[in-house]
Chains A and B, each alone.
Chain A
Amino acid sequence: MKTYRSHWLVCAGTGCVSCGAFALKEALESEVRRRGLESEVQVVPTGCNGFCEKGPILTVLPEGIFYQRLKVEDVPTLVEEHLIKGRPVRRLMYIPPDGTAPVPKMADIAFFKHQRLVVLRNRGRIDPEKIDEAIAYDGYEALGRALTAMTPEDILAEITVAGLRGRGGAGFPTGKKWAAARLAAGTPKYIVCNGDEGDPGAFMDRSVLEADPHAVLEGMIIGAKAIGASRGFLYIRNEYPLAIQRMELAIRQARAYGLLGPDILGSGFDFEAEIVRGAGAFVSGEETALLASIEGQRAMPRQRPPYPAQQGLWGKPTVINNVETWANVPAIIRRGSAWFAALGTETSKGTKIFSLVGKINNTGLVEVPMGIRLREIIYEIGGGIPGGRDFKAVQIGGPSGGCIPKALIDLPVDYESLTQAGAMMGSGGMIVLDEDTCMVDIALYFLRFTMEESCGKCSPCRVGTRQMAQILARISEGEGTEADLERLETLAQTIRQGSLCGLGQTAPNPVLSTLRYFRDEYLAHIVDRSCPACVCKKLTAFFIEPEKCVGCLLCLKACPVKAISGERRRVHVIDQAACIQCGACFNVCPAKVQAVSKLTGPKKRALAIPEAPAERP
């Protein structure tokens, strides 16, 4: 095998690609060619590193130097300095949020340092489009063992003892699910990979599929052997073209290597996998809806039981797990259940991938051991809250999850603790909220999401979410009453108890958890008719403080509705009747001036704006 002096690993996850990673890679290659260094330097496109906000990302091995936010123009300098002269370019390195010196090595960056990579172990180091590279890093080793040295019972036992739980939401023990499917009557049996990741701000599964498609495939084949299936489907949402493309390639390559298809590795075991593209509905991620969609029907959930493990695709026993769960399987088989069970907590084993987004310095994808404290994720990995603002809450678990307040920042992240705190593991979305976030607004946002994405089948979810959203909208406009809070709680109960599927049953969570921890904020909206975070438009006014205004005309020009009057070097004034609370003035007012302020409650009313512009004649 050919060896190179230096490996330049260009992150080619969707995030980096959208910032120009492919152009960067081409520029690097041509620069290397131009200098005649092809035989010494290898440029490798890799899967997502998770630090998407800093893309495009380049890691140089063997030194382990991490470059970020690269542009094509940086390439000649980079090659000249780093490769030829051996002087890493400090200018292009990562600088921590505290503004101290750049950190040259990836391993020393806080974002990476605290992570524990099991599922994402190959991210950023292999070319996901080359099966040989996956194999070089022990890919398909577990499959070999499972097919040649293990019985289905052995595999089931390993997965069960490892304590692996579903990473898609509810955390059902994977071993138990597989055992049920193995015992269920009916043939053929099917394996399904749920890659219909739809939570706002979540991209864990996309990243796994893009970075290490073979791990997912390998997990599925092992699962197939365990339950006695010979056909599998990967349901990947159509909005993930790169993931689909890489998985298609992986399937082709695995087939060419005899790792997929008839008589895998000469073991006599047959398995075929194919990709089904999702049609773009959030609810398709619900397992029974997903199965209906594969069958060619409208993605609508059906009542369970029977569970898919008993009656799934076309009424046959089917194991459906999400991408991350499948990707855990080869690691467990390869390194043993004891190794896996040693990671995490008593009830939650292994690691979990989270997408860390929102008001946080280091936005990105992180894989951490179960049981890690929220504080560690937010402050150490995430680098804290930007702009010196205060941390307020973190929304965990997507639209079905809940908000965990600052008081619980030392909560260990595992299935039970999160559920107890009113959130849920979900598929691993983690949205950090700072003090400028209105919790009523957040609850309304997530509720509108579930309202729009409800399949429309069962009445509590279809109608109930709409009614809750209407009440919340009323509260956010200062028109709520205290009875509305009670009504919200009763409605939430009806929806939770009455809904058919997980989407409906958990839809009230964002409201319930914010009511639980931020009831005073609701009351502020209702009683004081004020929005403490100054987010809800009807309760907020923008005001130019005359003593601060320098009369620079910036806000006047930025106002889309020409609600600001004034002349150069004269104090500007906002016509409150015309203002639409878009915040453009607030944003353009120079940082050293900060003349625009947001007012709410009595202060807003003191501006004597004609409230609730007359709609009535």
Chain B
Amino acid sequence: MNITINGRSLVVAGRPTILEAARAAGFAVPSLCDHRALLPYGACRICLVEIKGRRGFAPACSTPFEEGMEVITESPALAALRRGILELILAEHPSSCLVCTEKTSCDDFKSTIRKTGEVTGCVHCPANGRCELQRVVDMVGLERVPYPARRRDGEIVRTDPFIDRDNSLCILCGRCARICREVRGASVLTFVDRGSETLIGTAFGRTLLDSGCQFCGACVDVCPTGSLAERAARPEPLPDRRTRAICPFCSLGCTLDVHSRAGRLLYTVPSEQGPVNEGQGCVRGRFAVRSALTGGRRILRPHLRQEGELAPVSWEEALGRAAELLKALPGPSSAWVGSGQSSLEDLYLMGKWGSAIGAGACSVASPSSSAAILDQEGVSLDFRLEEIAAARTIVLVGIDPVVSHPLAWLEVRKAIEAGARLLSVGSLPQTAGRSISHALAPRPGFEAAVLVGMIRSILEAGVPKEVAAKPGFKDFQRSLGEAGDPPDPAIPPEAIAAFASELTARGPALLLVGGDFFLPSARPETTAALLNLALAAQARLVPLAGSSNGRGWLAVRRAFGTEDRPPAEIVQGIRSGRLRALFLAGRAFDLAGTRPEVLIGLSSHWNEALLQADVVFPACTVLETPGRFINVEGRWQSGDETLPPPGESKPGWWATAALAREMGCEGFSFASAEEVAEEARQRMAGGGSPPDAPAPRFLPLPRFGTPTATDSGHPFLLKVVPPPDLFGGRDLAENLPGLGKIRRASAVWMNPQDAAAAGIADGDAVLVATASVEVRAEARLHPSVPRRVLRASARASLVAGVEPARVAKVS
């Protein structure tokens, strides 16, 4: 396309807006409401330009170039108009500093005076130095505002976790409301009132929390002023360094921009350059990193138990003593515990060490994670997030992606916008329940039976040739008659049939599988039913790993043939005396009152188990040592070295290698993380699913187990699941009260009908009792929880599992 900007002829590809083309050609056009992640809006009117042959002025952001169009971005008329508009905007924005004649010299003396409640000018503003209004004022060149200043009524809203809202700084560009709706699909923030009383707010003035906000922080990140700000970062000075890190919390592997000053982390923002997240993130990556990684008690030096007390020693002494202790015991009586959130280098060397000494057991990721189970069955885990957006039918299998995998949810939302249907099977309270067209909520223990019911329904409608030709189909068909699957008493067969026909109605469906379906423990019939359903429905199976390096661990596990055991088995091994030494690497571990003969720890933070250890090594966090992570799609990613390691802490892999060398193991000489990664890459064949894995086959159904029964005293089934935000074995929400509020960690979820029958209202205090424990909790109601089922997340007094229970309101 041939176009002309300010008299310069250009040839551009596609159909860019005037703003895009002008900026690409190097012409500076000021703008405020425009944002790359959002649809053109044309509200601030600062980007007005002249188009030859058209009357008046057109906003560059929302006018696409047309062939032969001639545009002028700078003229006296435009300058006057832009100035006029900017004056109006500044009439409603504290601007004393923007137009102050002393502003250049003032910059040198800025300090942290932003703690003031009311912002009257730039130096008090949380956005000072980052404010786009400041930039635009410089571009347009404004010396004074000829109007009386108007401050919008109302104080800074601090009622919500993490986010402060200050309407007096708002220029109503609408970016926050737009990103909330267009990109996040949440529509929590919106315009309220009209005319000159227009504000950004929520429906009925509720809190963000009560409006269904997930606190992704996207609104804060697009706000061009300080109107929406992260409360914790508000009083902080400007960062002097920006680096990248891979978010350590979930398997999506968002890239975060880490802002720090003088080696101190200030805040993290989802990176616009992130290949996975493109500027988007979630509450964990946006608000939890600082607290999780730099909060708490760091281990600064190696420690050694001397005369019953842990005391700081040198690395050599600690390594020597640890090697001595471990070598004294035979390899098979040693076990190690790792974390799926450790870097690939860390996990690889732990695996290699375990293999070198012939360790007797290990426990890393939750062995019941859907990815681990399906990986074992030869299901390829590689996929691309875009595949979700392209699907026409998406089935959520035991997953609430809004909470557990927010970036995947954004893709689901895109699919829905494009007309896809969203189905759900599982007993989770679905945050985005409104988007789900068909839902089945099997009772715990009946999950597999419901899936088998779907398979029956699909096969009854006719078996396509491709399905019948798949390996194992005949055996499976035979087993189908003998499985003895117990029908879920609350789900009529017609509902299952209707669900199955929805599932197959629009071509191959995509099954997004989470861990909840397999909790509390993976039953073979559940795995078989899910695999067989995918084959029978010719659907795409996408298991979403739980932890940030879950995929990396699966590759390490395969490389060393290591078997991952549940934590309870490790505890059992210690108790029985089979396991006598334990190496805890990067994960808080509940020893449940046991104590192995030898306990070695490697961690960045102190935890309860480490206080009992014989030797403790201080480890770096992901912000201090760039490690590699394989995300849920199979993407290798790594971040920058952001912060200096505190004290004498070292990368985890370095400590493991040093210990192994000290123990006399061969092949542990590495000079850098790169060397470890290179060896891992070769040994793990790239880390993806093995190319020689057999094609998925139908699995014969095993005999079904008996579901947990209830009794008259305990008419409910209580399903206790791990909290959604685990980091290094600890619940993030415990250290971050804001997150606790959002997750409602202490809630027990139940079906509204059950609640009504028991006289329980949403938010009531209830007492949940099983045969062994009694817990007070806050009742929350959700229709996607099955009848006579209670759901809670594991806390000190509740252990993951399914048990009969009763519930009653307490006054």
Q: Please state if A497 and B81 are interface contacts (CB–CB under 8 Å).
A: yes
Q: Please state if A460 and B45 are interface contacts (CB–CB under 8 Å).
A: yes
Q: Please state if B89 and A458 are interface contacts (CB–CB under 8 Å).
A: no
Q: Which residues of the other chain, A, contact B174 by a CB distance below 8 angstroms?
A: 457
Q: Does A506 contact B (CB under 8 A)?
A: no
Q: Does B297 contact A (CB under 8 A)?
A: no
Q: With A298-B190, A458-B42, A459-B171 as known contacts, state yes or no: A498 contacts B85, CB within 8 Å.
A: yes
Q: Which residues of the other chain, A, contact B41 by a CB distance below 8 angstroms?
A: 302
Task: Name B62's closest neighbour in chain A (CB-CB).
Answer: A303
Q: Does B797 contact A (CB under 8 A)?
A: no
Stretch at the interface among B194-202, B334-342, B364-372, B785-793: B194-202
Q: With A298-B190, A303-B42 as known contacts, state yes or no: A459 contacts B89, CB within 8 Å.
A: yes
Give per-residue flags for A487-499: 1 if the beta carbon is below 8 A from chain B beta carbons, else 0.
1001101100111
Q: Please state if B89 and A463 are interface contacts (CB–CB under 8 Å).
A: yes
Q: Does B74 contact A (CB under 8 A)?
A: no
User: Complex: how many Å from CA A183 to CA B556?
Assistant: 61
Q: Please state if A498 and B81 are interface contacts (CB–CB under 8 Å).
A: yes
Q: Which residues of the other chain, A, contact B84 by a CB distance below 8 angstroms?
A: 460, 490-491, 493-494, 498
Residues of B within 8 A of A (CB): 40-45, 48, 56-57, 59, 62-63, 81, 84-85, 88-89, 91-92, 146-148, 150, 171-172, 174, 190-191, 193-198
Q: Please state if B63 and A303 are interface contacts (CB–CB under 8 Å).
A: yes
Query: Among residues 470 to 522 in chain A, which have CB atoms less than 8 Å away from a CB atom of chain B?
Result: 470, 487, 490-491, 493-494, 497-500
Q: Which residues of the other chain, B, contact A467 by a CB distance below 8 angstroms?
A: 88, 91, 147
Q: Which residues of the other chain, B, contact A464 by a CB distance below 8 angstroms?
A: 88
Q: Please state if A494 and B88 are interface contacts (CB–CB under 8 Å).
A: yes
Partner of A494, one of B43, B85, B193: B85
Stretch at the interface among A6-14, A262-270, A448-456: A448-456
Partner of B195, one of A454, A459, A470: A454
Partner of A456, one of B57, B63, B81, B172: B172
Q: With A303-B62, A487-B146 as known contacts, state yes or no: A498 contacts B194, CB within 8 Å.
A: no
The 6 nearest A-B residue pairs measured at CB: A456-B198, A494-B84, A303-B42, A463-B88, A466-B196, A303-B62
Q: Given A283-B194, A463-B89, A498-B84, 15 more contacts at CB 8 Å?
A: A302-B41, A454-B196, A454-B198, A455-B194, A456-B191, A457-B174, A457-B198, A458-B45, A459-B45, A460-B45, A465-B195, A494-B81, A498-B45, A498-B81, A500-B59
User: Complex: how many Å from CA A511 to CA B195?
Assistant: 18
Which of B45, B150, B174, B193: most chain A Cβ within 10 A?
B45
Q: Which residues of the other chain, B, contact A392 by a CB distance below 8 angstroms?
A: none
Interface pairs (21), CB distance under 8 Å:
A298-B190, A300-B191, A451-B195, A451-B196, A452-B195, A455-B195, A457-B172, A457-B174, A458-B42, A458-B43, A459-B85, A459-B171, A460-B85, A460-B88, A466-B150, A466-B196, A467-B147, A494-B81, A497-B48, A497-B57, A500-B42
Q: Which residues of the other chain, B, contact A454 by a CB distance below 8 angstroms?
A: 194-196, 198
Partner of B194, one of A281, A494, A499: A281
Q: Does A462 contact B (CB under 8 A)?
A: yes
User: Complex: how many Å from CA A465 to CA B197?
Assistant: 12
Q: Which residues of the other chain, A, contact B195 by a CB distance below 8 angstroms?
A: 451-456, 462, 465
User: Complex: how many Å from CA A241 to CA B659?
Assistant: 83
CB distance from A444 to the nearest CB of B (A): 14
Task: Name A301's closest neighbour in chain B (CB-CB).
Answer: B42
Query: Among residues 21 to 63 in chain A, which have CB atoms less than 8 Å away from a CB atom of chain B?
Result: none
User: Complex: how many Å from CA A100 to CA B57?
Assistant: 57
CB distance from B17 to the nearest CB of A (A): 11
User: Complex: how many Å from CA A467 to CA B43?
Assistant: 18
Q: Which residues of the other chain, A, contact B146 by a CB distance below 8 angstroms?
A: 487
Residues of A within 8 A of B (CB): 281, 283, 298, 300, 302-303, 305, 451-460, 462-467, 470, 487, 490-491, 493-494, 497-500
Q: Which residues of the other chain, B, contact A465 by a CB distance below 8 angstroms?
A: 195-196
Q: With A298-B191, A467-B91, A494-B88 as known contacts, state yes or no: A456 contacts B196, CB within 8 Å.
A: yes
CB distance from B211 to the nearest CB of A (A): 16
Which of A298, A454, A463: most chain B Cβ within 10 A?
A463
Task: Name B84's closest neighbour in chain A (CB-CB).
Answer: A494
Task: Name B87's closest neighbour in chain A (CB-CB).
Answer: A494
Task: Name A302's closest neighbour in chain B (CB-CB).
Answer: B42
User: Complex: how many Å from CA A498 to CA B85?
Assistant: 7
Task: Name A299's closest neighbour in chain B (CB-CB).
Answer: B194
Task: Name B77's closest neighbour in chain A (CB-CB).
Answer: A497
Q: Which residues of the other chain, B, contact A487 by a CB distance below 8 angstroms?
A: 146
Q: Which residues of the other chain, B, contact A300 by a CB distance below 8 angstroms?
A: 191
CB distance from A300 to the nearest CB of B (A): 7
User: Complex: how many Å from CA A466 to CA B149?
Assistant: 12
Q: With A456-B172, A493-B84, A498-B84 as known contacts, state yes or no: A463 contacts B148, CB within 8 Å.
A: no
User: Complex: how many Å from CA A491 to CA B84?
Assistant: 7
User: Complex: how many Å from CA A201 to CA B158?
Assistant: 44
Q: Which residues of the other chain, A, contact B63 by a CB distance below 8 angstroms?
A: 303, 305
CB distance from B85 to the nearest CB of A (A): 5
Q: Which residues of the other chain, B, contact A303 by a CB distance below 8 angstroms?
A: 40, 42, 59, 62-63
Q: With A457-B174, A458-B44 as known contacts, state yes or no: A463 contacts B91, CB within 8 Å.
A: yes
CB distance from B82 to the nearest CB of A (A): 9
Q: Please state if A470 and B148 are interface contacts (CB–CB under 8 Å).
A: yes
Q: Please state if A459 and B196 are interface contacts (CB–CB under 8 Å).
A: no
CB distance from A280 to the nearest CB of B (A): 10
Which of B40, B57, B172, B190: most chain A Cβ within 10 A?
B172
Task: Name A504's closest neighbour in chain B (CB-CB).
Answer: B45
Partner of A500, one of B43, B91, B193: B43
Q: Which residues of the other chain, B, contact A281 by a CB distance below 8 angstroms?
A: 194
User: Complex: how many Å from CA A305 to CA B64?
Assistant: 9
User: Complex: how many Å from CA A161 to CA B358?
Assistant: 94
Task: Name B40's closest neighbour in chain A (CB-CB).
Answer: A303
User: Complex: how many Å from CA A490 to CA B194?
Assistant: 24
Q: Which residues of the other chain, A, contact B81 by a CB distance below 8 angstroms?
A: 494, 497-498
